[in-house]
Amino acid sequence: MDIVVCGAQVPFVRGGAELHMDNLVTALTTAGHRAELVRLPVAWEKGRLFDSPLAWRMLPIDADLVIATNFPSYYVRHPRKVVWLFHQHRGAYDAADAGWSDIGTDPSSLETQRQLVEWDNRVLDEAAHVFTTSGVVADRLARYNGLSGTPLHHPPPLYEQLRQAAERGSFGTAEGSYVFCPTRLEANKRPELAVSSLASVRPSVRSVVAGRGSLAGPLQETARSLGLEQRVSLPGFVPDDELVDLYANALAVIYAPFDEDYGYVTLQAFYAGKPVITAGDSGGTLEWVVDGETGFVTDGTPAGVGAAIEKLAADPELARRMGEAGREKVRGLGWQPVVDRLLGAVR
């Protein structure tokens, strides 16, 4: 079939959603189909929120099938449309009135929310089937829109390289080890936990926080104020081969975002055979991290995360066992089953 994957993107921003779309196109092509990715820019501000949805409604898409992904790409019109929902406009739904959302509880915001729910319900109801990336996304869809979605899990980027790296990885030594936190340095990802938590952990443990974002400067200042400059590394963006090595040689991975949609970092850590330290409100990560088995679910405070790090630093064998349990948990993931489910929804 000729298949168009539809996605939205903020210009000059690239993250998990963009990798997800690229990997879906690759999986469809590998399965023998002709696949193309079509993206349109999106703006999140309340005053421009409906511009991109309207643009999607006017697009002519000539293909046998379209697979729509994140907001507002699912506004595309096509007689054979499947939605694999990454997320809706969270700033108008579960994150309304959050510090980073310009949609609050004022009359204008409430009208924007009402209109968006109405529009979302109409266009999502056009789909032959709505899949979601996780149970968390499906729960939001049911809670706010009264619509059902089927969770459809998939492997993360670099999963094959990470699986191979697990064979050569280590869990630190008596001379020292590090915890790894690869993420965008933004407030909803809470990267500061990978810095401030070290204050209550033995001095031999370091932290590597890889990624870019607006919190890079504040994180450096936090490390300085706590006297942790020599124990915290902020390398910024790292290439794939270095990323794989950082996973392979870490003691554990810290990933405690707020209400994550899916969480590639968790899955990548498991493929690399590393336990994950997360928080009780981290959303999609909790579909994978079982407290005391594949990692630790903490209260999301520096003290709680630090206590989890200390347990693993004191017992590298425990870290190894948890990492192996994580590897087992992701063993059955693959792209071919995903392609089969998506295409099977319209046959």
3-state secondary structure of 212: coil
- Name the more confident of 173 and 238: 238
Look up residue 286 and give its DSSP letter. Answer: G
Q: What is the pLDDT of residues 273-306, one digit of tens each?
A: 999 999 999 999 999 999 999 999 999 999 999 9
Q: CATH top-level class for 159-329? A: alpha beta
pLDDT at 174: 42
Residue 177 amino acid letter:
S
Burial 82-110 (b: 16+ CB within 10 A, else e): bbbbbbbbbbbbbbbeeeebebeeeeebe
Q: What is the pLDDT of residue 15?
A: 81
Q: What single letter denotes the amino acid at residue 84?
A: W
> Is the pLDDT assigned to residue 40 strictly greater than 60?
yes
Structural domain boundaries in the chain: 2-155+334-344, 159-329
Q: CA-to-CA distance for 113 and 93, rounded, in angstroms? A: 7
Are the CB atoms for 254 and 229 separated by under 8 Å? no
At the second CATH level, the architecture of 2-155+334-344 is 3-Layer(aba) Sandwich (3.40)
pLDDT 10s digits, 165-194:
887 766 654 445 999 999 999 998 999 999
Cα separation values, 229 from 108, 198, 216, Å: 46, 11, 14
Same fold, 2-155+334-344 and 159-329: yes
C-alpha span between 333 and 344 (Å, rounded): 18
